[in-house]
A and B are shown apart, each in its own frame.
Chain A
């Protein structure tokens, strides 16, 4: 089983749509969870951390289910500028320091 698994997509949605991304992770000892956004040929940028109680940042809502080892990201009212690859990221508690493990990413394309 891959350490962090995501549906690669692509998700092609119209502006204004709501879209949800899912992610599963294999290491039950992971404690920190994030969603990053990566634009084509650019570095990843932190979108939001994911907390156990769920958290929201504007149009973005993240949920964590530790029992199922499952993380989700919901984007409401999609904008053209949301088009990017969304990376599910968890920490790697068995490795040196505070290394992160990245999923392959889910590609979102928002069209007008």
Chain B
């Protein structure tokens, strides 16, 4: 159980375009979803936390107008990278937690974004 999928697994886009990444919890209701970013040889850095039906809470230094997060249902959250730049190239990973086990986060397989 506790499977989280992410789509796409890999995407290449041109500077200035927008990219949407989907995160789905397949067999449980994810009351909270998290979006992380990981640069090579670095730790996962939390970008934002989203609770279903609420606006996302962004970490300091993360531009909410650039990284749009929507968590419209208990099984789906999306991250849209707007006006992508090469420095946005990274590994984006989502995770999901249920209400009854809030500290156990299950991770999606990640999306590798390359902006050319």
Interface residues of A (CB under 8 A from B): 4, 32, 34, 41-46, 49, 87, 91-92, 95-105
Total number of B residues with any Cβ neighbor in A under 8 Å: 26
- Contact pick for A99, options B41, B49, B106, B108, CB 8 Å: B49
Tell me the nearest residue of chain A to B105, going by C-beta: A100
Per DSSP, are chain A's interface residues mostly helix, strand or loop, or mixed? loop
Q: Is B93 an interface residue (CB 8 A)?
A: yes
Shortest C-beta distance, B36 to chain A (Å), equals 8
Chain B residues 97 to 113 lying within 8 A of chain A, measured CB to CB, are 97, 102-110, 112
Give the complex CA separation of A41 and B103 in angstroms: 24
**B108, A96: Cβ atoms closer than 8 Å:** no
Task: Decide yes or no: A102 and B44 within 8 Å by CB, A43-B93, A96-B49, A97-B49 being known contacts.
Answer: yes
Shortest C-beta distance, A110 to chain B (Å), equals 20
Q: Is B115 an interface residue (CB 8 A)?
A: no
- Contact pick for B57, options A41, A87, A96, A100, CB 8 Å: A96
**B59, A95: Cβ atoms closer than 8 Å:** yes
Shortest C-beta distance, B64 to chain A (Å), equals 13
Task: Decide yes or no: A97 and B32 within 8 Å by CB, A43-B93, A46-B104, A104-B42 being known contacts.
Answer: yes
Tell me the nearest residue of chain B to A3, going by C-beta: B43
